[in-house]
Amino acid sequence: MIQEVRVIAKPGLPDSKGDESLYEINRALGIQSVEKVRTARVFRFEGISEKEAAYLAGKLLAEDVFQTYRVNGPVIEDAAVVLEVAYKPGVMNPEAASLLKSASDLGITGLIAADSSWEYGFYGRDISGADIERILNSLLVNATIEYVVREKPQTLVIKGVPGPTGVIPIRRMSDEELLTLSRDKLFLNLEEMKVVQKYFAGLQRDPTDCEIEIIAQTWSEHCVHKTFRAKISMDGQEKPPLLKRLKDATARSKHPLVLSAFVDNSGVMEFYEGTAICGKVETHNSPSAIEPYGGAMTGSGGVFRDIVGTGLGAKVLASTNMFCFAPPGTPGEDIPPGCLHPHYLLRRVVTGVKDYGNRMGIPTNNGSVHFHPDFRAKPTVIVGAYGILPAGSSRKRQPEAGDLVLTLGGRTGRDGIHGATFSSGEMTDRTIDVNASAVQIGHPIEEKRMFDAILAARDKGLLRAITDCGAGGFASAVGEMGSEIGVNIALDRAPLKYPGLAPWEILLSESQERMVLAVAPAHLEQLLEICRGYNVEATVLGEFTGDKRFCATYEGLTVMDLEMEFLHDGLPQRFMTAAWQRPEHPEPTLRETRNWSRLFARVMGHLNVCSKEPIIRLYDHGVQGTSALPPFAGANGDGPNDAAILTPLLGKPYGMVISHGLNPVLNMIDPYHGSLWAAAEAVSNAVSSGANPREMVLIDNFIWPFPDEDALGALDMSVDACVDFVRATGMPFISGKDSLSSTYRGQDGTVIKIPPVLCVSVFGRIPDVSRTVSADFKGAGNQIVLVGCRNTSEMAGSVYYDLQGAIGQNLPKLDPDNLMKVFEAVYAAIDSGKLLACHDISEGGLGAALAEMCFGGATGASITIPADENPEQFLFNETAGCFLAELPADADLADIFSGVPCSVIGKTTAGGLLTAEQYGKTLFTLNLDELKEAWQRPMKEVFH
């Protein structure tokens, strides 16, 4: 019998989930008939008595101070409509395992299954059935993983019997049949399918479903980066593969601090006192597009595992996130079929990142949010993580024959199946329905326990090799770890969330919170003892063999037997043709500004400039006690900084800097110069905080439309820009990721391509965090100095142009050789202690940077615009690699910034005004409080 416990906030006390739901109903959907929403948690238990359920309710489920509960009865009885929403059977519910464990700890022994869900009570006089359907379909129920509970379930136990391993008759398939087999699930092209067909014809047998699925996974764009490894013909000229160009540029840089580049789960650089720091940035665009909460959560969880799976295991220090969405106010009729509204996507993605990082105790301390209408079909969701480990444990190691394959952490279920192949394909109106199983729900507490166990095992020298179960699950993790030696696993040994999984599903499942280790048999018992101490499940799946084959059995029967050479090297190298046509974006006709107050407020309130503080405050950036430069600082704690600085070795002055840069609009105009801008912005953010450009490294993330000739041509130019940046600056890329599937195709022929995104992330080391600066002005009467090279007429892609309804052609064109001189000059000035504050110039231009420095310092500013400058261009040009600096009134500018372009443009003032003059006359005097209100309003309206 199933016992039900409902928990609800006491009358008169806040109901945060109910209030949030009401906000979305009224604001995002425009439904005003719902006047109030109350929510209750529903817990179900199978195998215990009503008395035991009441005991759990009182001891575990309800907080007596502000909650009340009822067993086997309703708690919302006066609402017009009451509905319950739950995860579908088989979808990972992170609370279920915690309920079982907690009940056992409280002495409840008969519990065999548990589940949880949410109940909603809607209040109002004229709530229609159509309103409820819209609320359910648009907000409360993601059909890929959830359903409305209409009847009380008869059992919580999921039952199933796995079917026999299938054999795919590929040898006698026609070309059309091969493509039909590939469509929706495998995402291989005809040439690749024919290579598979030929391989099995040579073996004189057909493949099992396990074999065909692992080949598709291993050969997916997501896992093997086919486009980045392809031969490229650009405008008739054959060029080396994109990935080779990046790796060669890094090798030529010969950076003395790089310990590991492009060979591990993250890139590693030397830190201090025998330690190393590492970084990885990933994308989770496709899962987040169909289930934003789970997609973002598992994106964070996955990139955290990349850090822990680096070398012999690293501790995660920090989390970052960079998002691109359509504007949250996009009309519903502009959202393509099969896609979710950006207002909902933004809020749920942020919540997913928050819930994973906060619950694990990992600070989220760097990020950004960008908006453009062409992200309305598919958002860009980028998540990063950074860690620390002993330098001697930073090199990736290989297992030896006889080593055991050990899986530990979460159990295996159907969540995430086909995630790798699904993420490699274009999005359509069918994506949400066809690829529901690719969605996963994370369990951060499980991951935290697993990480603690791994680091304890590392410190005892018990690990030979380690990797994470990411895209492709065991297929990818075990297959890659054993690629040089061979491996044999028994799939029936894998702990399952529920019975009934077919062998190929166990092999391919991307269920979260799992790692794979190579462990010498002599160390097994000691490692298992550590896992028991941390309440982490660990299981021996098989062993590394030395025969260079990947074999798998299920209940004693062989279900997979493939040569590692074919699996990892049999994919035919693509030859791809690229050609890029410069798009026509007319320059706007600029008029003299008559209302400077209105213009400045519109710039500061632009979605790509406005304060993201309401988002950032949801994240815990101070946990672990390492934050030396937080996201916001200044007199009132609301002035933005350019980078995050951590002190990962507690009690030591050493700092780790983290920053990034991206600007998708510029890549729409010219992907070469737009990509230089992204790299320059990433480094500028770090340098303006006090980091040495000679002691930092880079990470690339290319998020691109599906690579047709034009998109591939743009990608080719973007990679060339990265290579040129490395050559000019000496800063190497040591890790990266490409995601080349951000195109939407509708049944009506609609094609929506995202603006190409290159996100460049930076991390590096600082010998003493006391020699860094924040961006807020420090007092009145100080000099305001502009540093850097810029042509203010290059305005294309700027926020100012966007407010004129234009994009333009003449974007900022950076010279990487000159950039390095400016970076080094700014760093030297900060390191000498002569700068009081520094802020780089990016979206919104000099005007936005100046206002933000005033906001942070609670000061005013008075500037003079040179006579030969157009005021709008001087204020709103967005050339990266330029800086505003605050110097003491008596500082000698020529002494501090000799050899680079610089000029004093004004001074800080005691009043709350921003004043500009030109030709000896006042151009404007603006109230900074009003500007600040305009700057803070947009995200406050989304995150109320």
- Would the annotation count 622 as a binding residue? no
> Is 585 designated active site?
no
Give the C-alpha separation, 219 to 223, whole Å.
7
Please identify which of the residues 225, 255, 284, 370 carries the catalytic annotation: 284
Nearest to 944 by CA among 192, 292, 28: 28
- Would the annotation count 282 as a binding residue? yes
User: CB of 269 within 8 A of CB of 276?
Assistant: yes
- Would the annotation count 468 as a binding residue? yes
- Would the annotation count 306 as a binding residue? yes
Take residue 12 and report the two structure tokens written for it: 């008169």
Phi, psi (5° rounding) for residue 866? -55, 150
Take residue 641 and report the two structure tokens written for it: 């900084």
CA distances from 106 to 57, 59, 101, 910, 923 (A): 12, 9, 9, 62, 72
> Is 621 designated active site?
no
Please identify which of the residues 222, 343, 418, 621 carries the catalytic annotation: 222
- Would the annotation count 798 as a binding residue? no
> Residue 499 carries which DSSP code?
S
Give the C-alpha separation, 735 to 684, whole Å.
19
- Would the annotation count 355 as a binding residue? no
Show Cβ contacts of residue 14 under 8 Å, excluding neighbours closer than 6 positions: none
What letters, b where the CB count within 10 A reaches 16 and e where it falls short, cover 728-746?
Answer: bbebbbbbbbbbbbbbbbb
Nearest to 785 by CA among 887, 856, 717: 887
Take residue 599 and report the two structure tokens written for it: 């213009």
Q: Which amino acid appears at position 114 of this protein?
A: A
User: CB of 732 within 8 A of CB of 258?
Assistant: yes
User: CB of 391 within 8 A of CB of 772?
Assistant: no
- Would the annotation count 736 as a binding residue? yes
User: CB of 326 within 8 A of CB of 374?
Assistant: yes
- Would the annotation count 878 as a binding residue? no
| 507 HSE (CA, 13 A, CB side) | 28
- Would the annotation count 768 as a binding residue? no
CB pairs under 8 A, 24+ apart, for 715-718? 715/227, 715/242, 715/578, 715/671, 715/740, 715/756, 716/232, 716/234, 716/239, 716/242, 716/578, 716/580, 717/580, 717/670, 717/671, 717/672, 717/675, 718/667, 718/671, 718/672, 718/674, 718/675, 718/756, 718/758
What is the DSSP track for 242-289? HHHHHHHHHHHH--TTEEE-SSSSSEEEE-STTEEEEEEEEE-HHHHH
Give the C-alpha separation, 696 to 683, whole Å.
8
- Would the annotation count 511 as a binding residue? yes
Query: In angstroms, how far is CA 63 from the centroid of its own chain?
Result: 34
Q: Which amino acid appears at position 29 of this protein?
A: L
Give the C-alpha separation, 884 to 903, whole Å.
10
Give the C-alpha separation, 7 to 895, whole Å.
67
Helices (H) and strands (E) in the chain, counts: 31, 40
Take residue 34 and report the two structure tokens written for it: 């719902």
Binding site as annotated, residues for substrate: 305, 440, 510-512, 739
User: Which residues are known binding-site members?
Assistant: 280, 282, 305-306, 440, 468, 510-512, 700, 736, 739
**Residues with a known catalytic role:** 222, 284
Please state the residue numbers annotated as binding site for Mg(2+). 282, 306, 468
Binding residues for ATP: 280, 700, 736
